[in-house]
Amino acid sequence: MDNIDWQHLLFDFNGRINRGKFWLGMVVIYVVPWIFWMIALAVNSAIVYTLLGLVYLLIIWPALAISVKRWHDRDKSGWWVLIAFVPLIGWLWALIETGFLEGTSGDNQYGSDPLAG
């Protein structure tokens, strides 16, 4: 993970990423709103809360891009991100599939194995 292409990780929906990059991307895109949330609580200003709302809107794209590439690594369509909307178990299913299960070994229809040397 020495050479991370942040543009590809956060904004591109093509290709595959491994679990390490998935978790790194998720931490990065959720730490930023957390920082804004802490500032909003300290300042208690409508402007800061508005900025926080904007930040939440802006992280939708990177969160989707990261998740889609992770589903691709599992050799599944990116549309599987919608499983998270299934009541009660959808978010858990998505978390287990994308965050904990290994990707397919070798090349698949979405690209080459991200763990291949």
Tell me what pLDDT residue 58 has.
93
Tell me what pLDDT residue 32 has.
83
For 29, other C-beta atoms within 10 Å of its C-beta total 20
Distance between CA atoms of residues 84 and 92, nearest Å: 8
Tell me what pLDDT residue 2 has.
66
Tell me what pLDDT residue 14 has.
97
pTM equals 0.90
pLDDT mean by block of 10 residues, the chain; 117 residues: 87 97 94 85 85 90 97 98 96 97 96 90
Tell me what pLDDT residue 1 has.
59
Distance between CA atoms of residues 37 and 24, nearest Å: 20
Distance between CA atoms of residues 72 and 83, nearest Å: 14
> Does residue 17 come out as left (phi exceeding 0), alpha (psi in the -120 to 50 range) or beta?
beta
